[in-house]
Structure 1
Amino acid sequence: MLKRTLLAAALIGFTGVAIADGHGEKPHANPWSNFSLDNTLQSMPAGDATRGQSLHSQMMCNSCHGENGESPSRNYASINGQPAEYTVKMMLDYRDGRRWEDYKQANIMVKLAQALDDQQIADLAAFYAQGSTQAWGYTKPLDQDMHNKVDHLVRKGDFGRMITPCASCHGAKGEGNEIAPALAGQVPEYFVRTMQAYKDGARHNDVNEGMSQFTHDLTDAEIEALAEYYASLNKQ
């Protein structure tokens, strides 16, 4: 409650917009197509990492995501080292209503995104993109059989289940690429929640439902193992 109060006060002082309690009215944004997303990203202003660092502090992003975007908590995502295009897309998805899978948890992010203009979003994205992080510090070691299975999913996928290799979009070391987020060093609990949201159909801001299709046939054990696998990697 204190964190929400402080965050609301910061928003009032910075933008003149207060965070209201409750669900609010969901914006109606069209789903992304490859064409519309590409055009939108190209039309965004160039980001400034120095301004982004100031915004990170002023908007109290650090209260959840850490001093430099490396989450100190199992409850929130690490966002340092993320490709700028990915961060821009996520903020636009929150702002425009494409990402609305769990409003109770996402309330703050929705209101924050709605309080930012395109330049501020680009600045934050530039700040996070310049960062790097070490592996998440509280990973659970996988047994050899599960490690081999997950490593195969990451590098080779599973042709029988039509699962594309994770590395084909997210990089061989989980470093991310454009709108595909970095997974290395990600908080495992956040990774699991995200994958389950795609799998259950609660989250559908992925272009062409790519992630929804790939997660559909993954078992819960595989998702949890993937979370630990990526959490143990260093972002590059």
Structure 2
Amino acid sequence: MTPHIAGLRNNHLLAAMRDYRSGHRLHPQMQQAVLGLEDEALAVLAAWYAEQPWVAVSGAVDSELLRAGGKKAFASCSSCHRRSGEGGIGAPRLAGQSVGYLIAASEAYRDGGRNSPAARGKGFVMGGLTDDEIRALSHYYASLR
């Protein structure tokens, strides 16, 4: 699963690419893509993707899970990602990402599959979430545009 990255914040994109390069974030194709790139090249790539227009991923969402996820999002996620899911300075956009990607990323944070310093903080927040709560949150954020 991969995220839609056009229009994400520059600082988040740059941090993600550095995490792939260092091995703190695992994805064979992304690790290979950034292997050997200097920080300057990563910064150019991050800036280019950040300047591209955001287009939400289309896909079906479960309305029952959407309602449950909306309630949980306010309590668990909105302080960093905002209720709208648009993200903030230190938190990426969740709104409009695919359900599958949101589930995979959430489970990776919760289960320790991402081990950068920033990811460990998210793991603390995600650690108490059940699989059902992650599914509900993922459907909620995927439904937002």
TM-score, structure 1 normalization: 0.56
AA aligned to 1:196 is E
Write out per-residue CA displacement over residues 184-215 of structure 1, whole angstroms, 9 at most, x where no aligned residue. Answer: 11121111111111222222224272211111
- Measured in 1, the distance between the counterparts of 2:96 and 2:78 equals 15
Counterpart contact for 2:82–2:88, Cα < 8 Å = yes
Gaps of 5+ in 1: 1-74, 101-105, 158-164
Matches within 5 A, 1:165-180: 165-180=76-91
Number of equivalenced pairs: 145
- Measured in 1, the distance between the counterparts of 2:119 and 2:57 equals 30
AA aligned to 1:92 is R
SS in 2 for 1:211: helix
Match of 2:13 among 64, 87, 90: 87
Counterpart for residue 103 of structure 2: 192
Matched, 1:108 2:19: no
Match of 1:182 among 77, 93, 96: 93
| RMSD across aligned positions (CA) | 1.9
Match of 2:69 among 128, 145, 150: 150
Counterpart contact for 1:201–1:212, Cα < 8 Å = yes
Write out per-residue CA displacement over residues 52-72 of structure 1, whole angstroms, 9 at most, x where no aligned residue. Answer: xxxxxxxxxxxxxxxxxxxxx
User: Do the aligned partners of residues 208 and 141 (structure 1) sit closer, same or farther apart at CA in structure 2, a change above 3 Å counting?
Assistant: closer
Counterpart contact for 2:66–2:139, Cα < 8 Å = no
Write out per-residue CA displacement over residues 26-70 of structure 1, whole angstroms, 9 at most, x where no aligned residue. Answer: xxxxxxxxxxxxxxxxxxxxxxxxxxxxxxxxxxxxxxxxxxxxx
Counterpart for residue 97 of structure 1: 23
Counterpart contact for 1:184–1:230, Cα < 8 Å = yes
Matched, 1:205 2:116: yes
Counterpart for residue 139 of structure 1: 60
Q: CA deviation at 1:183?
A: 0.6
AA aligned to 1:150 is G
Write out per-residue CA displacement over residues 148-186 of structure 1, whole angstroms, 9 at most, x where no aligned residue. Answer: 43222222x1xxxxxxx3111112311122231111111
TM-score, structure 2 normalization: 0.87
- Measured in 2, the distance between the counterparts of 1:140 and 1:128 equals 27
**By percentage of residues, which structure has more helix?**
2
